[in-house]
Chains A and B, each alone.
Chain A
Amino acid sequence: MGWFTKMLTSSIGKKLVMALTGLFLCSFLLVHLYGNSNLLGDPANAKESFDGFSKFMSTFPPIRVLEIGLALGFLLHILQGTILYFQNKQARPIGYAKMPGNETSSLFSRTMIWSGALVLFFLIVHVDTFFVDVRLAQGHEASMYDAVKSAFENPAYAGFYLFSLLLLAFHLNHGFQSAFQSLGLNHKKYTPLIKGLGLAYSILVPLGFAAMPIYFIILKYYPCCGGK
């Protein structure tokens, strides 16, 4: 086994993979959120700009290459997280009768596998709704704006979307700052800043994504407040 494989398969290396892929996925969320921001505003203009952005993202070659990286990033993060979960379970075959609860650690930090699993379920539904049903089935000329609009105008879909974002917030709340610790970056000078950034990121990014379904629901049921 070469030094590189040995490093990556050690307990610290596995955490390193989780941290690097996690931060990569965090950067993806920002790009995705920027894309979604095109949905807001005057519906006619929004449709044009969002469809334009969507078409660019699905046809521009460098982005297509990055897309493969993104899929690999998700795959590695999910697989490694699942493997670590089961390995860590094996490290304590017999559990305790009494557990400390929130006295010694945060709920979010202990439930990463569950928040992650539910976000994965959301991801599968999300890819099915917008990638499989629209991009693959209807090609590049299909309007992604119309697909998003019809999905978000369904209160059940919007509700599921919002619930998933709440779980994403839980996952990011621990994940963002935890990634830096795994990378060995913990220092009294900048760790408070990382933790602050992590908290802000875990609240603001899911809130940003939540704005879209809320916007379309308002637009449909209360057209007076949202335009036409």
Chain B
Amino acid sequence: MNLTLHIWRQKNSQDSGKFVTYQAKDVLEDMSFLEMMDVLNEELIAKGQEPVAFDHDCREGICGSCSLYINGRAHGPKQGITACQLHMRSFKDGDTIYIEPWRARAFPVIKDLIVDRTAFDRITRAGGYISARIGSAQDANAILIDHDTAESAMDAAACIGCGACVAACKNASAMLFVSAKISHLSQLPQGKPEREARALGMIAQMDKEGFGACTNTGACEAECPKEIKITHIARLNREYLRASVK
């Protein structure tokens, strides 16, 4: 298939950037979206042009590196996958595809489609961890956690920190990311000792980074590649209020 690509090109964080149009010819439907980008970059290099910079690493949907906003959707048109898991069979011959970086004040563009997501690392440093010494792997039955709690914590722990929630939210809110970290740790015994400090610290850092507030539109859960639900944001709200009054 042949495609028209409008790709955001930006030299560096100071550059104002613009869309550049490319024609992708003879794209195979079994290619992943990133492979299609690789082929385009090969052609650009052969022509002596600067290849399109984009983040990628594992290419199997678990690292959270790839961060493409494809035709108005974070990670493209399909649900529950990252951009690297998107295949060209989701498009058809003659399609026009807009490829943009995540847009948020807290995620400044470094180059082309690459954004700086260290705001997430700073939020995590503000409490998204446990400091208890847990030693080597425990016997599975030594700490009793009921099935539903373990499942709920695991659902939240599936977050790969890709930032699609921020990219998809009309307010560029990081609430789903923060809720995933807080919901994961606050439900488990190992996370309880720092429960309040975590909620207060992470929210304070989130606000400091310049992310927007949540207006419960649900766009984040619709775009999350790990399908993390906004029920975790409700838990985050409870955790924060609980920590505030305690």
Chain A residues in the interface with B (C-beta under 8 A): 3-4, 6-7, 10-16, 84, 87-88, 90-101, 103-106, 109-110, 112, 174, 178, 181-188, 191
Contact = CB atoms under 8 A, between A and B. Distances in A.
Contact of A91 (B69, B100, B211): B211
Given A98-B98, A100-B219, A181-B237, 20 more contacts: A7-B241, A10-B207, A12-B236, A84-B215, A88-B170, A88-B172, A88-B213, A93-B105, A94-B103, A97-B19, A98-B71, A98-B72, A100-B73, A103-B72, A104-B223, A105-B170, A110-B170, A112-B215, A183-B237, A184-B241
B168 A104 contact: yes
Interface in B93-109: 98, 100, 103-106
A184 B237 contact: yes
Interface string B156-195: 0000000000001011110100000000000000000000
- Tell me which of A15, A84, A105 has the highest count of chain B C-beta atoms within 10 A of its own C-beta: A105
B240 interface: yes
Given A97-B100, A110-B217, A91 B105 contact: yes
Contact of B100 (A4, A7, A96, A101): A96
B80 interface: no
Contacts of B207: 10-11
B215 A11 contact: no
Given A11-B203, A92-B103, A181 B216 contact: yes
Interface in B190-230: 203-204, 206-207, 210-219, 222-223, 230
Interface residues of B, number: 46
B206 A91 contact: no
Contacts of A12: 203, 213-214, 236-237, 240-241
A51 B171 CA distance: 46
Contact of A92 (B212, B219, B245): B212
A174 B6 CA distance: 35
B230 A186 contact: yes
